[in-house]
């Protein structure tokens, strides 16, 4: 066990959190992460709360370890989402894509631990003012929906860590023990894996998406919709996303997600947008979650020990 504020807060063995990806972050994947010693997260960004409720029920059948729920504020319109989460009996929530003040007080008043996802120092300070217990600091190299003014984690993480005193989970480019050690050196106490988990054996997405991640070079993502309307996003390079990169649709890319399930579970890589981070360029195989977490921790310990031995007296 790694003993720090993150593992103590979350009750987990390892400070490794799985990203709350829409339709993907459900019981099959999340339970594998929790059972391996990390923290699985159930998504709400799909907006399918009846299915999410069922997935949380399945989690309790598949694991007796802690897990959490994400509230993606821009995508969940249900005014009772706080009561929904509280009623599920979870103890950890990440909030994202919205104002941290909207739900923080109510969630904390019900005894939940709340982390907010932030893409900038200004957003981090706003979340601290709202009373969050911690932050997920998300660099622009990560996959999914993004602040149009993206900042690399190498810059963003130490900047925020120098200004706040709450525990930080680093997101964006997190893959293995070496990236985990780098994040800890920059001020994090935990990491979040997204694209690595999309490509995991237990991920429910179609094999075509996993194969595309494995085949991707480090340059094979695109940053779309930088000038709106709506959020920017990072995705795998396909014929569709290359066209959108060169000639952005005037009404934004969000309508493409109307066919998301044809890509996610049908395997048609041109049907929608495959949200993925730049770290896809470092993923070379589909692996079980338990192996990913075990090897990450072993490499993290080896890297930090080696650095201490070589540079501890520098």
Q: Tokens 């319109």 belong to which residue? A: 77
In the three-class reduction of DSSP (H, G, I as helix; E, B as strand; rest coil), residue 308 is classed as helix
Contact (CB, 8 A) for 238 and 276: no
- Pick from 25-39, 69-83, 85-99, 147-161: least confident: 69-83
What is the pLDDT confidence band of residue 1, given thresholds at 50, 70 and 90? Answer: confident
pLDDT at 59 (0 to 100) = 95
What is the overall mean pLDDT for the chain? 95
In DSSP terms, 304 is beta-bridged to: none
Residue 137 has φ and ψ, to the nearest 5°, of -95, 115
Contact (CB, 8 A) for 241 and 235: yes
Contact (CB, 8 A) for 184 and 169: no
pLDDT (tens digit, 9 = 90+) per residue, 159-209?
999 999 999 999 999 999 999 999 999 999 999 999 999 999 999 999 999
- Pick from 64-78, 196-210, 280-294: least confident: 64-78
pLDDT at 45 (0 to 100) = 86
In DSSP terms, 232 is beta-bridged to: 146
Q: Taking residues 126-151, what's their average pLDDT? A: 96
Higher pLDDT, 312 or 264: 264
Neighbour count for residue 228 (Cβ, 10 Å): 10
**Cα–Cα dist 173/18, whole Å:** 13
Higher pLDDT, 301 or 228: 301
pTM attached to this predicted model: 0.96
pLDDT at 93 (0 to 100) = 95
Measured CA angle at 45 (ends 138, 283), to 5 deg: 50
pLDDT at 81 (0 to 100) = 87
- Pick from 39-53, 125-139, 210-224, 277-291: least confident: 39-53
Q: Taking residues 55-67, what's their average pLDDT? A: 95
pLDDT at 263 (0 to 100) = 97
Q: Which two tokens stand for residue 116?
A: 């907010």
pLDDT (tens digit, 9 = 90+) per residue, 85-134?
888 889 999 999 889 999 999 999 999 999 999 999 999 999 999 999 99
**Cα–Cα dist 198/158, whole Å:** 27
- Long-range contacts at 41-44 (CB < 8 A, ≥ 24 apart): 41/17, 41/67, 41/68, 41/69, 41/70, 41/94, 42/67, 42/68, 42/69, 42/70, 43/70, 43/72, 44/20, 44/69, 44/70, 44/71, 44/72, 44/75, 44/76, 44/81
At residue 79, does pLDDT exceed 80?
no
pLDDT at 84 (0 to 100) = 87
Q: Burial level of 47, CB count in 10 A (0-12/13-18/19+)?
A: middle
Please compute Rg for the chain using Cα positions. Answer: 18
Measured CA angle at 22 (ends 145, 248), to 5 deg: 35
Residue in 72, 110, 115 with CA at minimum distance from that of residue 88: 110
Q: Burial level of 147, CB count in 10 A (0-12/13-18/19+)?
A: middle
Considering only the C-alpha atoms of the chain, give the largest distance between any 2 of them, rounded to a whole number of Å.
57
- φ/ψ region of 187 (left if φ > 0, alpha if ψ in -120 to 50, else beta) reads left
């Amino acid at each position: 066990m790694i003993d720090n504020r993150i593992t103590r807060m979350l009750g987990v063995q390892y400070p490794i959190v799985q990203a709350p990806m829409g339709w993907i972050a459900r019981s099959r994947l999340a339970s594998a992460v929790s059972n391996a010693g990390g923290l699985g997260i159930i998504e709400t960004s799909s907006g399918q709360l009846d299915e999410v409720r069922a997935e949380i029920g399945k989690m309790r059948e598949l694991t007796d370890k802690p897990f959490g729920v994400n509230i993606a504020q821009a995508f969940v319109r249900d005014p009772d989402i706080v009561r929904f989460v509280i009623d599920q009996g979870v103890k950890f929530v990440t909030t994202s894509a919205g104002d941290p003040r909207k739900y923080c007080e109510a969630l904390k008043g019900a005894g939940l631990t709340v982390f907010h996802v932030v893409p900038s120092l200004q957003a981090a300070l706003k979340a601290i003012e709202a009373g969050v217990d911690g932050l997920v600091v998300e660099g622009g190299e990560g996959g999914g929906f993004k602040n149009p003014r993206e900042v690399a984690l190498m810059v963003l993480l130490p900047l925020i860590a120098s200004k706040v005193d709450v525990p930080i989970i680093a997101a964006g480019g997190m893959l293995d023990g070496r990236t985990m050690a780098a994040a800890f050196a920059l001020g994090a106490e935990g990491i979040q894996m997204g694209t690595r988990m999309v490509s995991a054996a237990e991920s429910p997405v179609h094999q075509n998406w996993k194969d595309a991640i494995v085949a991707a070079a480090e340059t094979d993502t695109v940053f779309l919709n930088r000038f709106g309307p709506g959020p920017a996003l990072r995705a795998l390079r396909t014929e569709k996303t290359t066209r959108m990169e060169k000639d952005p649709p005037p009404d934004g890319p969000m309508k493409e997600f109307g066919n998301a399930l044809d890509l996610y579970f049908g395997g048609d890589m041109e049907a929608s947008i495959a949200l993925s981070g730049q770290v896809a360029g470092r993923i070379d195989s589909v692996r079980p979650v338990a192996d990913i977490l075990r090897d990450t921790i072993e490499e993290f310990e080896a890297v930090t020990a080696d650095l201490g031995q070589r540079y501890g007296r520098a």
